[in-house]
Chains A and B, each alone.
Chain A
Amino acid sequence: DSGVTQTPKHLITATGQRVTLRCSPRSGDLSVYWYQQSLDQGLQFLIQYYNGEERAKGNILERFSAQQFPDLHSELNLSSLELGDSALYFCASSTQGLPYEQYFGPGTRLTVT
């Protein structure tokens, strides 16, 4: 158990819908990272927040957005969902802004039908 929690574990929704994925980092970790893992794209870095502010942005679609709250938990919002958004979404946390060791959560499996 890495200490990073993600909810929900599984999510099934229809195309065009909007969902919110939630992540709570390990106690004391200030950075949160979001990743998407799909069979065709592999593991892709989406976005990083550090202490409430966006730190780095990867291959995140405009339909996706994220934020980190004062209590350091983070949410990833996915809207206008398409079939291709079906994937495992991982959250990771680390203590610092520059990632040293990252601790990954269990993931949320999103299925868009």
Chain B
Amino acid sequence: ELKVEQNPLFLSMQEGKNYTIYCNYSTTSDRLYWYRQDPGKSLESLFVLLSNGAVKQEGRLMASLDTKARLSTLHITAAVHDLSATYFCAALPMNRDDKIIFGKGTRLHILP
């Protein structure tokens, strides 16, 4: 069964710094998702990564996928307070049982 682990689960960082959230998954997957959730709000799709080596960027966020290492990263460049949120990664197993598995989420707090 596919398991998705994120780390760290909590991250407090200063504005202007760079940091990376890691998402490891346990079995083969070719579809990796990143979502953002603000407190009390719904989830917003950030990135969908479909192939090994895929890299996508939006503003200060960049996501990448290494299917051989079963690892996706979400890199934050020069963090700003508005990026404070909880970030989830999720994976879909290649056996196509279509059960999307979410990580526990990384609560990111960016200090001004």
Contact = CB atoms under 8 A, between A and B. Distances in A.
Given A43-B102, A56-B98, A58-B99, A101 B48 contact: yes
A98 B44 contact: no
Interface in A17-64: 33, 42-45, 48, 55-58
A57 B100 CA distance: 10
B33 interface: yes
Nearest to A6: B42
Contacts of B98: 48, 55-56, 97-99
B92 A104 contact: no
B105 A43 contact: yes
Interface residue SS majority, chain B: strand
Interface residue SS majority, chain A: strand
Given A56-B98, A99-B100, A103-B45, A42 B92 contact: no
B88 interface: yes
B100 A45 contact: yes
B35 to A, nearest CB: 8
B97 interface: yes
B96 A42 contact: no
14 contacts: A2-B42, A2-B44, A43-B43, A43-B105, A45-B102, A55-B98, A56-B98, A92-B43, A98-B92, A99-B31, A99-B100, A100-B48, A101-B45, A102-B45
Interface of B: 31, 33, 35, 41-45, 48, 88, 90, 92, 96-102, 104-105
- Identify the 4 closest CB pairs spanning chains A and B, nearest first: A56-B98, A43-B102, A104-B43, A104-B42
